Chain A
Amino acid sequence: MYEDTETNATIAEDEIMNTLATDETDHLLITRFKAGSMDAMEKIVERYEDQIFTFGLKMCGHLQDAEDIVQETFLNAFKYLNDFREETKLRNWLFKIAARVCFRKRRKKKFEPERELSLESFVLKDGLSSSYDIPDLSNNPSEQLERNELKQIINKSILSLPPKYRFVFNLRDIEGFSTKEASEILGITAQTVKTRLHRARLFLREKISEQFNEGEAVR
């Protein structure tokens, strides 16, 4: 009798998990949070704070702004987590909140107007010179100094992307969201995600190559 009850409970739990988009760990943490656990809140923060921080820093380029973005994201998330029905992954929901916080921050600071990246300009450049000098980290992984310099070059290049391309690039290539997930987080079509991502990558290839060559020339 006891075994049957236990089996039924396991089956019921499995059925619940199958209807939820969140993974088992997140589901458990959310359930505990809803029951008032501070520890669950801390565990959720621990799980996602580095990712949200990376996104915030790559979007705005300042430590203080990135800290504000992380804090506002989690404050908003915990305010509404009791109503979260787990129809999307917790990570995706958190990034949707983080993206909104970034949008608001941009508006408040009156950032520069959006710039379009035209595919034509990349086609012409590509036709004239198809050789891009992109450094390869695997050639020399022990050189920490060079690695740090390279990191600075990459961060600077990502920050020089116009914001709407930067949002897509960071979500797709840095955070690893799929095209569909990025389109849901940003509220744009999958085709727009693809178009912006391709142009962002072409832009970065050119920027990184230019800055890397400048650095090499100085050495």
Chain B
Amino acid sequence: MKTCKYYFEKISEYLDGELDGQACHEIEAHLKECPECGRCADSLKKTIQLCRETAKEKVPSEMRVRLKLALQECLQKQLG
């Protein structure tokens, strides 16, 4: 009999689609039966989505200009 802890360790692999068919079927059945593990999987999924949606950054425009100049200068030196 596999315990909640066993499935708890596999939740990320399940969410990433990295479990094989049998293991995936088993964990899905467990998440349906066990409300606590089901909530755990849901909150982990929401955490990943939230981080993905808010984490992207853009290079500030002044930095973009500085970077371009530094790279051009360096490359011109390399090319001699």
Residues of A at the B interface (CB closer than 8 Å) are 36, 38, 41-42, 45, 49-50, 53-54, 57-58, 63, 67, 70-71, 74-75, 78-79, 119, 122-123, 126, 130-132, 134-137, 147, 150-151, 154-155, 158, 169, 173-174, 179, 194, 197-198, 201-202, 204-205, 208-209
Contacts and interface: CB of A to CB of B under 8 A. Distances in A.
Interface in B41-80: 43-44, 46-48, 50-60, 63-64, 66-68, 70-72, 74-75, 78-79
Contacts of A58: 55, 57
Contact of B44 (A79, A137, A201): A201
A137 B52 CA distance: 11
B40 A130 contact: yes
A64 B36 CA distance: 43
Contacts of B63: 53, 63, 67, 70
Given A132-B43, A151-B54, A174-B56, 13 more contacts: A50-B58, A58-B55, A67-B67, A126-B8, A130-B36, A132-B47, A134-B43, A137-B50, A154-B50, A194-B13, A197-B12, A201-B47, A202-B44
Nearest to A82: B78
Contacts of B75: 38, 41, 78
Contacts of A38: 72, 75
A63 B36 CA distance: 40
B73 to A, nearest CB: 10
A78 B54 contact: no
A49 B67 contact: yes
Contacts of B2: none
Interface of B: 5, 8-9, 11-13, 16, 18, 36, 39-40, 43-44, 46-48, 50-60, 63-64, 66-68, 70-72, 74-75, 78-79
Contacts of B79: 36
In the A-B complex, the 9 residue pairs with the closest CB atoms:
A198-B12, A132-B43, A134-B46, A205-B47, A54-B57, A130-B36, A53-B59, A151-B54, A174-B55
B51 A158 contact: yes
Contact of B9 (A41, A119, A131): A119
B59 A70 contact: yes
A158 B55 CA distance: 10
B54 A75 contact: no
Given A126-B40, A201-B44, A194 B51 contact: no
B40 A174 contact: no
B50 A49 contact: no
Contacts of A204: 47, 51
B67 A78 contact: no
29 contacts: A36-B79, A38-B72, A38-B75, A42-B68, A50-B57, A50-B58, A50-B59, A54-B57, A63-B60, A63-B63, A70-B63, A71-B70, A123-B8, A130-B36, A132-B43, A134-B46, A134-B50, A135-B50, A150-B50, A150-B54, A151-B54, A154-B55, A158-B55, A179-B18, A197-B12, A201-B12, A202-B44, A204-B47, A205-B44
